[in-house]
Structure 1
Amino acid sequence: MSLRALTWAIYDIAPTLTDASAYRILLVLADEADNDGCGVYLSAGTIAERTGLSPRTVATKLKDLETMGITRRGDQSIVAYLPANRRPIVRDLNITADDRGAKTAPQNKQPEPATEPADADMQQGCNRGAADMQLGCNMVAYNPFNPYNPSNPRETARDDEPDTSQTTSDETTADGQWTPNDQTIALADSLNADLDAELERFHDWLDAKAETPHDHDAAFRGWLRRGADRGFLTRRSARRPYDRRAEHKPHKHHANCEHVLAALADIESEYDHTSPTEFGDTSEWALARQAKAEELNQLEQEETA
């Protein structure tokens, strides 16, 4: 989230943007932009979910924002790692240097002390002139020993913006590469994320933006959560049943087993094949085959024991 982009959208664009739907979409874009208002790659479906608008309305309003010059096409290489059929358009907010603060009157400038106050109201610091009324009425008397310096909320927001150019004591390997801490690894496990694949994508994204996060782990955890919410997270693939090696199961001999029939082939004629009952095969030949199968199973169990 960029406070700079949000304050620009709220204070500089909102007074002139009368389309409520376009304004809601602009706030969503500003919330996802970086410090310079760039690198927003939300799909129309995601914006529709966050604003409650239909995807068709979102697509129309995005074109309107671009036509009005409020947004523009950004660096499309940021999403080059995504499949072509799932690759959103990268958009930048058209924030210029003048828009970042030139429209805000400097409020921390000390007023000139009145040399010849005309009346009591002038002693209290109330400017009643036509031109002064356009700038507002300051009801605080000027005191040179305790000057009144109101802060500009937009400037204060920019001062509180985290500096991504600084580095912290992240966990690093022997070659100086950052490695995720236990909290980050636990989050990746809870999301069933492929940690190695997501780390590679995260590093590519940082290289494309040429930025160094103040806290690598916090930035990467945000990366994982956004990927899970938008459906772009690389999941750990479960092994398919046909990818597994077939487990070797010992052969169990039975009455009709080829091993049993081969073992009794020479003496088969010595046994009566006629069954005395109509319920199942209980002939001498059937009983001999069953006995031979049990004998072979017993021998193999003794060999493997």
Structure 2
Amino acid sequence: MSWALSLPVQTLKDSSARHVLLCLANYAGSNGTGAFPSASTLAQDTGLSERTVRYKLDDLEKSGLIQKGNQAIAAVHIDRHDRRPVVYDLQISRGANPAPRTKRGADDATGCNPQQNGVQPGTERGAAVAPNPPPNHQGTEEQLQQREIDAALAEQNNAAIEPQDDRQRFAMFATWVPNEKGLSDQITIAGLPADAVPEAAIRAFMGFFVAKPSTIDTSAGWCYRLVQWVKRERVKASGQGKAPDFDDTSWANDLGDL
């Protein structure tokens, strides 16, 4: 986060984007990589809307201050691909202010004091050189950073089990369960009885679309597709004087038109 705080205004003038970057940096590792808070988490952290957060992330990426990182990091912690946030790496080599040179006790070639770990940048007359910190000091800081990372990962795991945004489009998956209200609404709109969509119909419908990962839709959209297919099968079976056979997979030949 110190890198994000040190960015000059000329590098990032948008205050909202700066706020998003500061919060994003809080989830990154010590080297600035592996930050994957969800948009809803950043919205809570910043007080901005999720849409604004996404816009600002796009702006930060276009400006070169962040870039997409190793997406496998999120996959390790979140099984559902449709619920994984984007993993970002901070470009900490860009935009940071150079370290100031000290006037006394500094190496002219590097601008750094030979006493690397001491508190005092230089020694005045009569002042003792500050001792190096104990060997376990750095380890303590690393442990603190690891605890912060673990806390961020735990938050992501909790976010993964939250209800999915109904507006999010996703491919069909084997454990999909139709939204109860969405399915009920579509059944009512279609003028079908409440029990018109049996489990056999849902399984057959899912089986076909799991094999077509390129087809994506929202939760409500999938409910609409399911009910429309059931309605069509009922009409077809009624014309033949029989009940629809949902175990018959011949319907899959033209289901892609739904």
The TM-score, its normalising length taken from structure 2, stands at 0.44
Q: Which has the higher contact order (CA 8 A, sep 6+)?
A: 2
